[in-house]
Structure 1
Amino acid sequence: MSEVLSWVFAVLFVLVVAAWYLSYTAARLDRLHVRLSGTLAALDARLVRRAEAAVELANSGLLDGATSLILANAAAGSLEAPADHGEERELAENDLTEALDLALTPDVVAELRSTPLGQDVLARVGSACTRVQLARRFHNDAVTDVRRVRRKWAIRLFHLAGHTPMPHTVEFNDEAPEHLTPV
């Protein structure tokens, strides 16, 4: 009888440990998904701010008409792109990065730095570009963490992720124009 009781306690102990492990793992995965949602929201906010800074630069009257138009169109494309971070959004962000590169040549940046309004607008654009780079990197790090945890056997076997789609990294050119760095 004591041997049966020992086996029952051993099985119960194993079940309690397994339940605790699964509960802990599910909670950890949930926290990672919440973090992922936060980083995606932060990235969206930073992308909007970069597009707004580009619109501000385009409407400042400090650039020539054609450059202003190109920059404004690229910024509008970024603001109107779907928020799902699919291929269309990434192309719009690439276009805005290229438009900023085109607009902010060394000569233009030097000319803008010679006026207080130009310095202010450049500072906003530079800050927005830097924040986009950081937000995208934080988001991609969070995606990597979620994907690493979701590859574990317990999560796959017990479907702890539910029907949540596997996240993917956001890939686009987010480099600030090289001449935009502070003097």
Structure 2
Amino acid sequence: MSWSETAVLVVAVVLLVVWWSWVAASRIDRLHRKVAASRAVVDTQLLRRASAASTLAASGVLDPVSSVLVGEASWASITAGDAQTQGMARLPAELRGTARAGTGSPDVADRGLVESELSATLREALADPQEVAELREEPGAAELLAALADAWYRVQLARRFHNEAVAQAQRMRRGWAVRTLRLAGRAPMPQTLELDDAWPPALGRPGAPPAAP
């Protein structure tokens, strides 16, 4: 092979590597944007669930102990998801004093723990199918429970889509060529959002008939 042929081959290989690197870097950037967008959707739905829970707690249909516990847990969720704004404005006035006294502003890194605590608190408050059935008979309670169920269902869907987007980005970034060429730059590795969002059976799925007591 002559030197000119060798030079052409080297140039072709270099161009191929440059093209592949550009394509891979562009795909990584798109995946990062997808992860960021899906996480924003999760945060929105978590805030929606917390707002529905706080409204339920402030409505007076729950027993006093459950109202306080759900109110505190929902306020912790609101402050975790809205730390840079006045999240207090989203909490019903009846619960603001209790929330200030009972919880601080949790760190964003503890978001999963905060949301898991809200899930556990709601499951405890809505654990008895008979009590939930009786609760639905209270004026306005059925609508509040339906709003909570709808928000909770959306949380589960949004978190599933987010974690799938994160898994795609992680697989792409773990490739040896991506790591060797540092195509992801200094962007941190996307992480899944792990939290307990198990459903309280007595609440019933949106659009489904209420669970039998």
Conservation of the 8 A alpha-carbon contact between 1:46 and 1:128: yes
Cα RMSD after superposing both structures: 1.7
> 1:112·1:122 contact (CA, 8 Å) conserved in 2?
no
**Which residue is equivalent to 2:77?**
78
2: CA distance between counterparts of 1:52 and 1:176?
17
Deviation at 1:35, TM superposition (A): 0.2
Q: 1 CA distance for matches of 2:172 and 2:190?
A: 12
In structure 2, C-alpha distance between the alignment counterparts of 1:7 and 1:161, rounded to whole Å = 32
- Report the CA distance between 1:169 and its aligned residue: 1.3
Shift of 1:131: 0.8
**Aligned match for 2:129, one of 106, 116, 120:** 106
TM-score by length of 2: 0.80
Match of 1:92 among 107, 111, 114: 114
Q: Report whether the alignment pairs 1:126 with 2:125.
A: no
- 1:29 is aligned to 28
* TM-score normalised per structure 1: 0.92
**Segments of 4+ in structure 1 off by > 4 A?**
82-85
What's the counterpart of residue 159 of structure 1?
182
Whether the 8 Å CA contact 2:74–2:118 is kept in 1: the answer is yes
Q: Which ranges in structure 2 are unaligned for 5 or more consecutive residues?
A: 84-106
| Greater mean alpha carbon deviation, residues 88-97 or residues 35-44 | 88-97
- Distance in 1 (CA, whole Å) between partners of 2:131 and 2:37 is 36
Q: How many residues matched?
A: 181
Offset of residue 85 of structure 1: 5.0
Structure 1 unaligned segments of length 5 or more: list them.
Answer: none
User: Does the 8 A contact of 2:61 with 2:138 survive in 1?
Assistant: no
C-alpha displacement at 1:166, in angstroms?
1.2
Contact 1:129–1:175 (CA<8 Å) still a contact in 2? Answer: no
In structure 1, what is the equivalent of residue 57 of structure 2? 58
AA aligned to 1:29 is I
- Output the CA distance in 1 between the equivalents of 2:56 and 2:176: 51
Instruction: Name the counterpart of 1:177.
Output: 200
| Structure 2 SS opposite 1:127 | helix
Structure 2 counterpart of 1:92, one-letter code: V
Report the alpha carbon displacement of residue 5 of structure 1 after superposing the two structures with TM: 2.2
